[in-house]
């Protein structure tokens, strides 16, 4: 798909002066992103920009533009082919607000963590400015925000069901998932002179239909659809004078936006149907009515083969923020600057995780030679410390794992290969990963190669050799793992394995560490406030933590992200997979009490922990007994605790003569 070109390792241009220095009089594609421009493969604008550059296209980066006018969108003149728009590596609402709906104090994807450099719901805002700047230039939306909002979805921050982002952004096409394959095809076909409406046959894209188009295409969902097909290369093709749509097999009609926004049972059905269509080998296109319009989501793009992954990650990157930032630090870059991504995608199917819906359920892995070549390039940089901070991906030990029976894979509609049990057809051989780890630590200039991204413990238990290598050579004293909870019912709602597997993994990890003469520890991650978790379940988890002498300093409040299974549970109170009713902790108070129980040992949490124990009828856990979570008397720090003073917003002085308390109040015009 992507071929190599000899390219000087310089950042993609971000100013007209930089495009002029390359001898360009125009650009083909302008990437608009809500993130600071970091030329590192972990940042989407850099990866996709380099892919298009390798195909011979002129690409410019418009990073964190001022969205209050369209002036910034005219920086490079009229793009010859399109604007490619993304809110950034995170959903803009998640970037701006905490699980408590409070404004975050910083932005990890901005220089020096400065907040406020992108708008709320950045994708529609950016798309609108692109259309204002140059009418007629195609606008292509992509990124996590667009992917997870491509259909009607529950939005936690507004606490309502919102319509597809396609209708708000009015973008020509939306690329969902990892965009290399569909974006390259879009840009190539635009360059060949095809109108944007003819590109609706591309896998991995979504688009909107106006009323007339909707009536034509969606009418094909009934029996007349089958009689109107013409078979071409095994694809069912619908012909129209303005566009061509390919679907194989026939599309699946979702409950409409009006239905899912007013009927929670329809929302549950929609969620289940969406998650049944994530396997690219058998997924059907999805159609959802929104009033007189409709949204069409084509099947997912085909996964990249190993050779294609290698070509993408072998492209030239400076692996640095753009020089224009000077000494400013981009916090998100500091985390990944010395990391190597060896795979993408996840077949775990955790109900609270969005990776499957964005990166895909098929794990796509790089070849060992490609990874070692990237390590060599990184080790050759003068500021390399000798430590690879992470060799991994969404889940490090899914490297090179896939279904062992392709004929069964093409029929499978499981939402997880690991839950409720590991599929017997899944290859769980850790041999390729162990060989890669051995080779990595032998590379010249490398002192340590850590595995810091997630390790799936149920998979790791199938390979004592992998645990041995990680414990002896690839852990920096602390290893992050994610048991998430201890209560069986909550773990079932999370689609996570039993807590006993965390214990089995911990014993083996400690044994291997001791044999290597190392004193190392696991850092477990737990979630508070997940659907299915009541105060009794959280108390059970708190007791589990106390009895095992754990003191988690990294805890997470459940945050409903668009399109997740757990988000459906949170909104509807129903598990869309089993159809069972689920208890949902709602409101700031319930969430605060659950989080406090997760860190009952923190003195400042004493009042909340006591309130939770009393409400749950567990006063036996207050006192000096061995199982008590808190003492009967509050610690001195907690007794003196005072709520922090509220920051009052500076009120603007109302115009003279304007009295808002009066029903007939009107602003007077002053001359």
Q: How confident is the model at residue 319 (pLDDT cuts 50, 70, 90)?
A: very high
pLDDT at 118 over 70: yes
pLDDT recorded at residue 652? 37
- Considering the chain, what percentage of its residues have pLDDT values greater than 90? 84
Q: Tell me the mean pLDDT in the region 589-617.
A: 96
Q: How far is CA 352 from CA 490, 572, 573, in A?
A: 12, 15, 14
Q: Are 448 and 338 in contact (CB under 8 A)?
A: no
Bridge partners, residue 288, by sequence: 295
CA 410 to chain centre: 25
Residues 147-202 pLDDT 10s: 999 999 999 999 999 999 999 999 999 999 999 999 999 999 999 999 999 999 99
Lowest model confidence (mean pLDDT) among 427-431, 583-587, 634-638, 641-645: 641-645
What distance in Å separates the CA atoms of residue 119 and residue 544, rounded to the nearest whole number? 42
Residue 406, classed as helix, strand or coil, is helix
What distance in Å separates the CA atoms of residue 671 and residue 654, rounded to the nearest whole number? 16
Q: How confident is the model at residue 218 (pLDDT cuts 50, 70, 90)?
A: low
What distance in Å separates the CA atoms of residue 110 and residue 134, rounded to the nearest whole number? 27
What distance in Å separates the CA atoms of residue 629 and residue 32, rounded to the nearest whole number? 51
Annotate 358-398 with DSSP letters as a single string.
Answer: HT-SS-EE--HHHHHHHHHHHHTSTT--SEE-EEESSSGGG
The mean of the pLDDT values for the chain is 89
What distance in Å separates the CA atoms of residue 463 and residue 422, rounded to the nearest whole number? 14
pLDDT recorded at residue 638? 47
pLDDT recorded at residue 658? 29
Residues 495-519 pLDDT 10s: 999 999 999 999 999 999 999 999 9
Q: How far is CA 553 from CA 71, 521, 652, in A?
A: 45, 13, 41
What distance in Å separates the CA atoms of residue 600 and residue 606, rounded to the nearest whole number? 7
pLDDT at 214 over 70: no
pLDDT at 420 over 80: yes
Q: Are 257 and 164 in contact (CB under 8 A)?
A: yes
Bridge partners, residue 162, by sequence: 153
Residues 276-309 pLDDT 10s: 999 999 999 999 999 999 999 999 999 999 999 9
pLDDT at 619 over 60: yes
What distance in Å separates the CA atoms of residue 445 and residue 447, rounded to the nearest whole number? 6
User: What are the tokens at 32?
Assistant: 């608009």
Q: Which residues contact 525 (CB under 8 A, 6 or more apart)?
A: 480, 481, 482, 483, 484, 552, 554, 555, 556
Q: Where are the domains of the chain?
A: 1-204, 514-637
Q: Are 214 and 296 in contact (CB under 8 A)?
A: no
Bridge partners, residue 205, by sequence: 175
Q: Are 512 and 472 in contact (CB under 8 A)?
A: yes
What distance in Å separates the CA atoms of residue 223 and residue 401, rounded to the nearest whole number? 40
pLDDT recorded at residue 639? 47
pLDDT recorded at residue 553? 81
Using the 8-state DSSP alphabet, how is residue 269 labeled?
H
pLDDT recorded at residue 476? 87
* pTM (predicted TM-score): 0.89
* Third-level CATH fold of 1-204: Rossmann fold (3.40.50)
What distance in Å separates the CA atoms of residue 61 and residue 41, rounded to the nearest whole number? 15
Bridge partners, residue 321, by sequence: 38
Number of other CB atoms surrounding residue 480 within 10 Å: 15
pLDDT recorded at residue 648? 41
Q: Tell me the mean pLDDT in the region 132-143.
A: 97
């Amino acid at each position: 798909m992507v071929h190599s070109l000899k390219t000087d390792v310089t950042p993609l241009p971000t100013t007209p002066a930089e495009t002029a220095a390359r001898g360009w009089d125009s650009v083909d594609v302008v990437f608009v992103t809500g993130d600071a421009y970091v030329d590192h493969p972990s940042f989407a604008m850099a990866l996709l920009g380099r892919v298009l550059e390798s195909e011979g296209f002129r690409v410019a980066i418009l990073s964190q533009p001022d969205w209050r006018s369209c002036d910034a969108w005219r920086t490079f003149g009229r793009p010859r082919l399109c604007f490619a728009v993304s809110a950034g590596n995170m959903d803009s609402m998640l970037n701006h607000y905490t699980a408590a709906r409070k404004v975050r104090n910083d932005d990890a994807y901005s220089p020096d963590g400065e907040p406020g450099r992108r708008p709320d719901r950045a994708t529609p805002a950016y798309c609108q400015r692109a259309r204002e700047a140059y009418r007629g230039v195609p606008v292509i939306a992509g990124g996590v925000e667009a992917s997870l909002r491509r259909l009607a979805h529950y939005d936690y921050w507004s606490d309502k069901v919102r319509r597809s982002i396609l209708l708000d952004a009015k973008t020509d096409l939306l690329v969902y998932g990892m965009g290399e394959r569909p974006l390259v095809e879009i840009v190539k076909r635009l360059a060949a002179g095809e109108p944007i409406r003819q590109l609706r046959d591309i896998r991995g894209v979504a688009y909107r239909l106006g009323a007339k188009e909707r009536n034509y295409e969606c009418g094909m969902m009934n029996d007349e659809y089958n009689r109107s097909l013409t078979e071409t290369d095994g694809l069912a093709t619908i012909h129209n004078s303005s566009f061509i749509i390919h679907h194989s097999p026939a599309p699946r009609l979702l409950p409409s936006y009006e239905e899912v926004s007013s009927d929670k049972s329809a929302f549950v059905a929609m969620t289940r149907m969406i998650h049944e269509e994530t396997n690219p080998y058998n997924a059907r296109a999805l159609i959802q009515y929104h009033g007189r319009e409709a949204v069409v989501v084509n099947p997912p793009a085909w996964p990249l083969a190993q050779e294609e992954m290698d070509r993408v990650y072998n492209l030239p990157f400076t692996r640095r923020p753009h020089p224009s930032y000077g000494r400013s630090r981009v916090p998100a870059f500091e985390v990944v600057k010395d990391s190597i991504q060896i795979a993408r995608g996840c077949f775990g199917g955790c109900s609270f995780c969005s990776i499957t819906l964005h990166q895909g359920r098929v794990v796509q892995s790089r070849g060992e030679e490609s990874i070692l070549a990237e390590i060599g390039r990184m080790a050759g940089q003068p500021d390399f410390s000798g430590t690879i901070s992470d060799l991994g991906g969404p889940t490090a030990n899914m490297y090179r794992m896939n279904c062992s029976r392709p004929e069964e894979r093409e029929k499978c509609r499981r939402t997880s290969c690991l839950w409720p049990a590991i599929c017997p057809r899944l290859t769980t051989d850790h041999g390729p990963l162990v060989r890669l780890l051995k080779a990595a630590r032998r590379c010249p200039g490398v002192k340590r190669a850590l595995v810091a991204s997630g390790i799936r413990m149920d998979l790791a238990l199938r390979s004592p050799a992998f645990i041995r290598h990680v414990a002896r050579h690839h852990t920096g004293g602390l290893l992050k793992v994610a048991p998430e909870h201890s209560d069986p019912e909550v773990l079932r709602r999370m689609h996570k394995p039993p807590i006993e597997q965390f214990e089995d993994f911990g014993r083996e990890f400690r044994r291997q560490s001791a044999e290597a003469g190392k004193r190392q520890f696991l850092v477990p991650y737990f979630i508070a406030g997940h659907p299915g978790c009541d105060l009794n379940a959280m108390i059970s988890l708190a007791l589990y933590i106390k009895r095992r002498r754990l003191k988690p300093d990294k805890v997470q409040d459940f945050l409903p992200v668009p399109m997740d299974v757990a988000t459906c549970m949170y909104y509807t109170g129903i598990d869309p997979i089993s159809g069972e009713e689920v208890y949902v902790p709602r409101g700031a108070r319930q969430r605060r009490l659950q989080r406090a129980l997760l860190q009952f040992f923190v003195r400042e949490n004493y009042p909340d922990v006591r309130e939770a124990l009393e409400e749950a009828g567990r006063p036996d856990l207050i006192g000096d007994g061995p199982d008590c979570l808190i003492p009967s008397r509050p610690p001195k720090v907690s007794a003196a605790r005072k709520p922090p003073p509220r920051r009052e917003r500076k009120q603007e002085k109302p115009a003279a003569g304007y009295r808002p308390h009066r029903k007939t109040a009107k602003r007077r015009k002053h001359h």
